[in-house]
Structure 1
């Protein structure tokens, strides 16, 4: 399981739950599925993805009939089907990341355990649930692939591993749909450490991403990097707390050519002092960072804090995302769903409670314009709160 630094464990203990009116947008919020362990449990860093059949697909890190995680599909009205339950053996154990829909119509994903060497796997699964292990990760390949894969313009799949590799700081790898695997880069610490997020291939053909820790001069607060298709990595920015720290999620590229992302900590250093509660930032392709918003800028952190997931961009020009904690809900500080304008004005659209809370995974918008996501915890108290899938309509039609 992914382990945060001690700084990341302060969480809600410093906050006081308050009675708060739920934003009117929350009336458009609906819980579609409550996991009960038999159908999966704990969708961790999962972002849903839509298949060619119109259904949504995702993973749970735990649960299923074998209790080692699942691949599932869900209709947009909430009917869930488990396509595959991992055994914990050579097929893998613990699919923490979401899926990639490949150009061949199949889904591709990763597990953080299992496989031949017990360090995880890369797999392909059909819409009908037939799974094939493409590669079993060895320590030299990189281990703990917590992020989804991305398909490059060359048809190959690119991904990251949080640890392992030649320097034990994580790797970037490439694998063909047929299973030919190579390590493109092993992080050295000064250029980054623990790449927990996936990559994005930009309009210039290069890949961009983040590392959770690392950076020059022992500044272990995380980086943004660029990688050429053949594996040459250049660090674009190292975070220093004031502009953010510990970017858990990846980046998106906007039509303006810039990249947008979040940091889990940093920013407003009076919150979780002296480490901060997270930011949304913009970075240019040459590495100039602008902080768009620092979380816990509102009284009692009603705007949320610790954004684990990245943001998505709406056709209205705003960004949408989640925080894993905060919000000031009367029942729990279980996170928020927010809208952020390009000039930094934040509106909280929903505050999560124990009926579904701690949304570690990102948001996904389907072709109808509705937004879907998961909460890692909350929901069914009978299984220790196994997580949920939710839908939200912002009332904007086709948002993205």
Structure 2
């Protein structure tokens, strides 16, 4: 199928369209300490026991829906560190799989791992990344296909420009390099995870490079498809203006073949040097529509994470900054939780105040009309003074 790369400015919401949210119940479930690790920036996973599972810079943890915290694993030596961007996924037997972006110090020669933690808490390293050609520094989570294979990306390395790679790995540790990014295809895939359609095609985003120049000087990023033969197609190349730039969260697909996501910059928000970020839709013909452009006001700014969607077609997500500009010195704001309804109405569900968390960077988990998420900082004064982050819930 051929795609036409285009942009339409229809249905762009503005600050005038923001409404106050209703029937919201926010609660901080857990505040991380220095010893527990912090800076978690990935989506939580719902375990088979109903608990929430995630990864910090140093640990794998679980939090019960009412807030009970349990340390599952502490990384060290060559089994990896800095897994806060990846999160974990579960197989049908209750085993967890994830990635770390480095081992214990770059002097080890290991630039990331793929790990498994079984239902008893025992860790197994399935793969250790070394520099090119297979890629290094994985900054995305993993995705299962219907056959039980895992797919992911690395943010660096590869055969072309050290722009990153796409890989497949089995639960037995058999590793296959599927694609190395070229500069015109994009670079630095990170945040969120790949999605797979019913034919086995992979879809994702790159944060930088691509065919268009950006005001940031690093390229605007792309949306891509990698088919089962290994052919990569750029579905959309961001232009860096009103259409957005620097996407880094997971894509979300609907039943009609549309893709939805966020960009960190762009959208025309004048309060931010390169724009404050967008929520967008990409149609199967390659036409992009901006559904909302952030303004760095009460709505928030710089959405790092992708979106989740309920059965009524409403979208939910987080903005990394913005909201309450007085929550910390510097005036950047601590971020927001937002809703964009199916008819385009934008609402702020929660504004972070630092004491309850700050800088949400991971995608939300929607379960039974409750959103669960994490913040990378806030919640206290640990981890250098800005707090180690939190786990929170929002009841809709």
Unaligned runs of 5+ in 1: 1-21, 62-68, 395-400
Select which of 153, 177, 184 maps to 1:190: 184
User: Are the equivalent residues in 2 in contact too, given 1:292–1:342 (CA < 8 A)?
Assistant: no
TM normalised by structure 2 equals: 0.87
Match in the other structure for 1:323: 319
Q: Which structure would you say has the larger RCO, counting Cα contacts within 8 Å and 6 or more residues apart?
A: 2
1:104 positional shift: 3.6
Name 1:29's counterpart in structure 2: 26
Q: For residues 243-258 of structure 1, what are the structure 2 equivalents within 5 Å? A: 243-258=243-258
- TM-score under structure 1 normalisation? 0.86
Match of 1:160 in 2: 153
Per mean C-alpha deviation after superposition, the further-off stretch among 338-347 and 244-253 is 338-347
Once the two structures are superposed, the pairs formed by residues 294-313 of structure 1 within 5 Å of their partners are 294-296=293-295, 301-313=297-309
Secondary structure (helix, strand or coil) at the match of 1:310 reads coil
CA distance in 2, matches of 1:230, 1:107: 28
Aligned-partner Cα distance in 2 for 1:381–1:148: 28
Distance 2:110 2:96 in 1: 22
Contact 1:329 1:353 in 2 (8 A): no
Q: Secondary structure at 1:90's aligned position in 2?
A: helix
Alignment partner of 1:190: what SS?
Answer: helix
- CA distance in 2 between partners of 1:227 and 1:216 (Å): 18
Q: CA deviation at 1:389?
A: 0.4
**Matches for 1:364-383 after TM superposition, within 5 Å:** 364-366=365-367, 368-383=368-383
For structure 2, the 5+ residue unaligned runs are 1-18
Match of 2:121 in 1: 129
1:12 aligns with none
Q: How does 1:1-400 map to 2 (within 5 A)?
A: 25=22, 28-43=25-40, 45-61=41-57, 69-87=58-76, 89-96=77-84, 97-114=86-103, 117-140=109-132, 141-167=134-160, 168-197=162-191, 198-218=193-213, 220-241=219-240, 242-273=242-273, 275-296=274-295, 301-328=297-324, 330-332=326-328, 333-355=333-355, 356-366=357-367, 368-383=368-383, 384=385, 385-394=387-396
Select the structure that is richer in strand.
Answer: 2
Please state how far the C-alpha of 1:288 moved relative to its aligned partner: 1.6
Alpha-carbon offset, residue 268 of structure 1: 1.8
Distance, in Å, in 1 between the alignment partners of 2:95 and 2:22 is 35
CA deviation profile, 1:350-382 (whole Å, cap 9, x unmatched) = 10111111001110023x332110000001214
CA RMSD of aligned residues (A): 1.8
Q: Given the superposition, is the C-alpha separation of residues 218 and 326 from structure 1 closer, same or farther in structure 2, using an over 3 Å criterion?
A: closer
* 242-251 or 262-271, larger mean C-alpha shift: 262-271
Structure 2 CA distance for aligned equivalents of residues 311 and 236 of structure 1:
19
Residue 54 to residue 379, structure 1, CA distance change in 2 (3 Å): same
Using the TM superposition, give the Cα deviation of residue 218 of structure 1 relative to its aligned residue in structure 2, in angstroms: 4.6
1:209/1:224 contact within 8 Å kept? yes
* Secondary structure, aligned partner of 2:61: strand
